[in-house]
Amino acid sequence: MSEYSRLKIMLGGVPLGCDNIGDEATLASAVGIFRRLMPECELTVCTAKQRETASKFNCNTLPLYGFDRSPLSEFRRVVANYDLFIWFGATGLSDYPETACALLENSQKAGVATVVWNVGMNNVFNPMLYSLAGKKLKLCKLLESVTWVDWAAHFEKFIHKRVRKRLADTLGKSRLIVLRDEASLLELRKCASFPQAMVGADSAILQKSVEFESLRWEDHCAQMFNSATKRVALCLSSQSPVGELDDFAAWLDNLNLSENVLTIMLPMNPITDYEFMEKLRSKMKYSQKTIMPRFIEPEEIQCVVAKCNLVISSRLHLMILALNHLIPCIGIARGSKINSFLDQFGLPVAGSTGTVDFNTLDYYAKKYLGANDFSLQGAKVRKKMVKNLSEAESRLKSVLYEINSRI
């Protein structure tokens, strides 16, 4: 029996099983990494879709601790049976930092080693959680009217400082900290110096694809896709929806006609993104030049996007999957993560979901549809990302060896 057979690893801190295809892509590649480094380790994944995840990855599953109603006392009791808790993937350092910190803290209190693996961090904390709203904001505005002090800004600064201190204290006790890009590491170091932290890459850069012939299309979608000479993949996130939907529909109509393009809408959330892009289609004059296949697995999405000429997206992971095959992308920002990722490739961002820059969008869409000279440049950047990830894997393997030796 292998010396690794007893190592029990719990993967959590990401809202898995909640209809986010990007998170599932990260999970698939992370599982592959951990099993390659320790083939006989026992993996357990925290997810809202326990049965489906167990079947797909042949792993153990647990409830989605931190994101469901399961008490943290239950999590601490369960995690005590493991050797290592790994918080992996997504942009959790800024999207839900205190949720993941609570899982790390409870693991550490139970005597379980912790690792932070290729997590990202935006330059702002999640405004839904860390910006004032409702009665608190009204009270601050009322106080501001009589004191001339921006109390809302002061209070939010206090909240952000508290969160950064918690991140500094909690992550400082982890055995390994790997960020998915340099920008995330710089943001984390605003909390503390973290000299031991390093840059890896999003695990999804290792995502595999299915064979194209195995895809199950609706008949009309397959015919339109196969006969198209130019294909643009599109995903607009419902989380931070594009406000200028009428203008976007008009721009897309014009692109589809002037460039003889087929637009393939690929929802990275098969429920909410699908509904939002159906709304976009309803505003188009020539919606018959679009298709929206119902693929829900990352390996299917990557297979489709690999045969497109261009990707336009406000979802990061659709662009990660596209760039695995060196397909050029145009981002529409929501937070800094899309800018940080595309900057590495020298690819453009056409404004934000609040204000789309249609001039930039139009210029680069026509540029990449006209002639794709991006692949050489993209290959160099991707090679560096793979190298960074490989170096991070080496560090992780050392940590796993050390933990295993003490079992």
Residue pLDDT, tens place only, 222-247: 999 999 999 999 999 999 999 999 99
Band the pLDDT of 6: cuts 50, 70, 90: confident
pLDDT tens digit sequence for 245-269? 999 999 999 999 999 999 999 999 9
> pLDDT at residue 332 above 50?
yes
| Predicted pLDDT of residue 167 | 97
Residues 122-136: what's their mean pLDDT? Answer: 85
Least confidently predicted of 79-88, 146-155, 312-321: 146-155
As given in the structure block, the two tokens for residue 139 are: 């009270």
Under the banding of pLDDT at 50, 70 and 90, the label for residue 1 is very low
- Rounded-to-integer distance, Cα 250 and Cα 234, Å: 15
- Cα–Cα distance between 360 and 204 in angstroms, integer? 28
Residue 133's pLDDT band (cuts 50, 70, 90): confident
Separation CA 162–CA 332 (nearest Å) = 30
The yes-or-no verdict on residue 3 having pLDDT over 70 is no
Report the C-alpha gap between 293 and 261 in whole angstroms: 16
Q: How far is CA 219 from CA 30, 50, 222, 274, in A?
A: 34, 32, 5, 19
- Residue 333 CB neighbours (<10 A): 22
Classified by CATH at the fold level, domain 8-207+385-405 comes out as Rossmann fold (3.40.50)
CB 196 within 8 A of CB 285: no
What is the pLDDT at residue 2? 43
Q: Give 55-65 pLDDT, tens digit per residue.
A: 999 999 999 99
Q: Which of 286-290, 307-311, 370-374 has the lowest mean pLDDT?
A: 370-374
Asked if pLDDT for residue 373 goes beyond 50, the answer is yes
Q: How buried is residue 377: exposed, middle or buried, by Cβ count under 10 Å (0-12/13-18/19+)?
A: middle
Strands (E), 228-353: 231-235, 262-265, 290-291, 310-313, 329-333, 349-352
Q: How many CA atoms does the CB half-sphere of 386 hold within 13 Å?
A: 11
DSSP assignment of 96-150? SHHHHHHHHHHHHHTT-EEEEEEE---SS--HHHHS--HHHHHHHHHHHHHH---
Nearest by Cα to 217 from 291, 306, 308: 291
Q: Which residue has the higher pLDDT, 248 or 405?
A: 248
pLDDT tens digits, 136-187: 888 888 888 888 888 788 888 889 999 999 999 999 999 999 999 999 999 9
Report yes or no: 371 and 264 within 8 Å, Cβ to Cβ: no
254 burial class (0-12, 13-18, 19+ CB within 10 angstroms)? middle
Please state the domain extents for the chain: 8-207+385-405, 212-323+329-371
The arrangement of secondary structure in 212-323+329-371, i.e. its CATH architecture, is: 3-Layer(aba) Sandwich (3.40)
pLDDT over 80 at 210, yes or no: yes
Report whether 237 contacts 22 (CB < 8 A). Answer: no
Query: In the prediction, which pLDDT does 259 show?
Result: 93
H/E run at residue 198: strand 198-199
What is the rounded average pLDDT of the residues 343-369? 96
- What's the rounded Cα separation, in Å, for the pair 208 and 28? 9
Q: What integer pLDDT is reported at residue 128 of this predicted model?
A: 82
Length of the chain: 407
Which backbone phi and psi does 33 adopt, to 5 degrees?
Answer: -65, -50
Domains 8-207+385-405 and 212-323+329-371 share a fold: yes
Query: Does residue 327 have a pLDDT over 60?
Result: yes
φ, ψ of residue 347 in degrees (nearest 5): -100, 150
**Nearest-10 crossing angle of helices 316-323, 21-37:** 50
Q: Is the pLDDT of residue 333 over 90?
A: yes
Name the token pair of 53.
Answer: 């995840």
Asked if residue 271 has pLDDT above 50, the reply is yes
Indicate the average pLDDT of the chain: 94
